[in-house]
Chains A and B, each alone.
Chain A
Amino acid sequence: MTTTLSPKSGSHLHIPTTEERAVKKRKARFYDKPGWLTYGLLGAFFLGAVFPLWWSFVMASRQASDINAVPPVVIPGPNFLENVVKAFQTVDFAKALINSIIISGTIAVAVVFFSTLAGYAFAKLGFKGRDPLMIAVIATMAIPTQLGIIPLFMLVSELKLTNTLGAVIIPGLVSAFGVFFMRQYLVDVIPDELIEAARVDGASMWGTFWHVALPAARPAMAVLGLFMFMAAWTDFLWPLLVLGPKNPSVQTALAALNASGGHTPDYSMVLAGAIISIIPLLILFLFAGKQLIAGIMSGAVKG
């Protein structure tokens, strides 16, 4: 059986041969040599990206009145845990974090599975109507589905899903972008001969998908999962409409915390809440930031 064969081209972590490395080196010569201006600009971008987050953390670790400090405070104080506890007492962040992990995890897994399945069919299987259907997928990517929220809200109320996690999860289960993304990846990565060989050897279609396509698709699946998890985690409008204050997502909980003090909230507590909402993705980013960057950059070239 060739179904146990693992395709060589399936690995995205491409280790360059000595020859490729030499080519790369030769090419590298024609890059501009960076000077002090380059590193100066990079330093400025770095500060611009990091300062708002750092300042929030600093404020979250001090007291609310420090917001008026001139120049702005830049050194953390001793009150971070105290402010975090206050935030957890004001809104149900514990439940919100668990809810958001369930929502984002389920959506990520479902989208990755359905997208890989459909993307594989579009990339590697011949069937009638394949090209028009693929064009339909691409066209749906451009439709702002957010604009269907009124009927979607009616649908969710009709199904008595309001205030349940299902109301957030179900509309997120499939993604046209995901199908497109997996199709683009699998077209290049699996040689047609490999699928033909598996079939000649008597593998079923499902067996071929499971043992040939899935292992090859793994790197792209990881990147897509990461994107979907982040998108679900950061979504606000839809959870705001269908989740009540007793069953919040992280974002609706943070919005509630922000509104808790009227026009003069406890700034330190609110910003501590903002930091709490960011930390899970920050951890993900520290581990998988490289894959995220590779995903953004590959989508651009192919898209």
Chain B
Amino acid sequence: MSTLDARRTGSRLTFRQKLANFDYKASPYLYISPFFLMFAVLGLFPIIYTVNVSLYNWDLLKGQGDFVGLDNYVTTLTDPFFWNAFGNTISIFLLSAVPQLIIATVIAAVLDQAIRASTFWRMSILLPYIAAPVAVAVIFTQIFNQFGGPITGAMEALGLEPIRWGFDPFPSHVAIATMVNWRWTGYNALILLAAMQAIPRDIYESASLDGAGRARRFWSITIPMIRPTMIFVIITSTIGGLQIFTEPKLFDGQSNGGSNRQFQTIVLYLYEMAFPRRDFGRAAATAWILFLIIILVGLINYAISRTIASQDIKRNIRLPKRAAVNANGARR
């Protein structure tokens, strides 16, 4: 008998039926509760409690001190070192996000053909992903070794002035962005490839019958069709990119972002506040400022991508539609 009938008969339920009824109603909550309980304690609570910590003088060893209101925020926002870290983070983020998206799209487009041994090529572009950021940083620190190393050696051989990768701000940002790009480009290329493979092939066929060449098909069909996935890739790389820590931390293992903080990022600044300086209040305030920056940049990203997307649809959407009609006509 279904539980519905059982419920109608009310008090005449057997114990077994009551138990089954309870089982039916309570089980879903039981199944989702481990996630929500643990997330509440280990994910949500720390983020919210960060606000509390940020309003006090709070020392790593001595613990909670005086209530200082928004002082920690004011001190952080007027600290030139914070704005230095902010600038470095944005610079490294742009140097990694932009080339990464372009190269990943190119790789995806190359893989989105009837190539031989496609699994082999896919695995080879994903290979860097299995190297942890620490290992990537260790390896590229030596590749960008300014006192030797393959790049400096090659430049010397060509008679060029060696670049001071570890000392000058911009070159150090390039080196750190290269680490991020090397690890993530293949991963993002596979995501974009999946989006490309979801495009119905007849659209390409019809466009081709209408005389659209390869480049035209790429710009007018592929790019507009994978735009939602591109936005997804951009948003996720924003959230990750603004929290970059491991690569700049290890690029100079002795300091927290270079001898002149030339590649100190916001999370490294947070780390320096919290641990070497033991100022948990300042670190917590920095965490919340970073949180707001991430949301802000995410929204800006979203708005820009949407504007570009809608403009593109206005320009391009007619081509695939007309082509589809033609294709149907041709088949008939």
Contact = CB atoms under 8 A, between A and B. Distances in A.
Interface of A: 27-34, 38-39, 41-42, 45-46, 48-50, 52-53, 55-56, 59, 67-72, 114-115, 117-118, 120-122, 125-127, 130, 133, 137, 140, 142-155, 170-171, 173-174, 176, 179, 199-200, 204-206, 209, 230, 233-234, 236-237, 241, 250-251, 254-255, 258-259, 262-263, 267, 270-271, 273-274, 277-278, 281-282, 284-285, 289-290, 292-293, 296-301, 303
B122 A170 contact: no
A151 B130 contact: no
B47 A290 contact: no
Nearest to B134: A251
Contact of A142 (B239, B250, B254): B239
Contacts of A153: 274
B77 interface: no
A148 B113 contact: no
Contacts of B331: none
A32 B125 contact: no
Contacts of B157: 70-71
B110 A273 contact: no
Given A72-B150, A297-B193, A301-B194, A151 B135 contact: no
B180 interface: no
Contact of B43 (A140, A209, A259, A303): A140
B83 interface: no
B50 A278 contact: no
B34 A118 contact: yes
B15 interface: no
Nearest to B132: A234
Given A71-B157, A146-B243, A300 B27 contact: no
B258 to A, nearest CB: 12
B131 interface: yes
Contact of B291 (A67, A147, A205): A147
Given A38-B110, A148-B49, A303-B232, A237 B245 contact: yes
A32 B253 contact: no
B275 interface: yes
Contact of A278 (B125, B126, B135, B275): B135
B312 interface: no
A262 B214 contact: no
Nearest to B142: A267
Contacts of B204: 30
A73 B282 CA distance: 47
B132 A233 contact: yes
A206 B26 CA distance: 11
Contact of A130 (B27, B28, B232): B28
A67 B186 CA distance: 27
A205 B27 contact: yes
Interface in B13-33: 20, 23-25, 27-29, 31-32
Interface in B40-87: 42-47, 49-50, 53
B38 A296 contact: no
A175 to B, nearest CB: 8
B39 A49 contact: no
Interface stretch (B169-177, B195-203, B303-311, B318-326): B195-203
B254 A67 contact: no
A148 B138 contact: no
29 contacts: A38-B113, A41-B110, A45-B125, A52-B128, A72-B150, A114-B34, A118-B31, A118-B32, A121-B32, A140-B39, A142-B298, A149-B287, A151-B46, A151-B50, A151-B284, A153-B274, A234-B132, A237-B267, A251-B134, A254-B135, A254-B138, A255-B249, A258-B138, A263-B254, A274-B139, A285-B123, A289-B126, A293-B123, A300-B229
Contact of A145 (B46, B116, B182, B246): B46
B34 A148 contact: no
B283 A150 contact: yes
